[in-house]
Amino acid sequence: MAVALLDEPNHHAVVWSEQQIRDVLRDYGGSRIPAVTDPDAVAGDGRPSLVALTDGSGYSFWHDVPLDGQWGDLVAQFEFFRRPAGYAVVLHSVHVT
């Protein structure tokens, strides 16, 4: 799963696990976990938003999460922090907008 690509905990000291993401999806979907869809298979762009952090340490990236073949109001927020060897990838949150 994609959690293996995360490099650091977020500023709340949370290192997202597969189970935590499943829990968010279960809370979002009610009685069943919605299926995450390949973004390339869904019409539209998922409202991506890339913003430079004001302190110059990196970037914040928000993107809708495609579920059950369509875009919804569940968003993943990532942060990319500059590090000596490149950028650290951090999942900041997964939440409903």
Q: Is the pLDDT of residue 33 over 80?
A: yes
DSSP letter, residue 43: S
What gap in Å lies between CA 56 and CA 18, rounded to an integer? 30
Beta bridge partners of 52: 59
Q: How confident is the model at residue 2 (pLDDT cuts 50, 70, 90)?
A: confident
* pTM of this prediction exceeds 0.75: yes
Helix spans in the chain (H): 18-29
Q: How confident is the model at residue 1 (pLDDT cuts 50, 70, 90)?
A: low
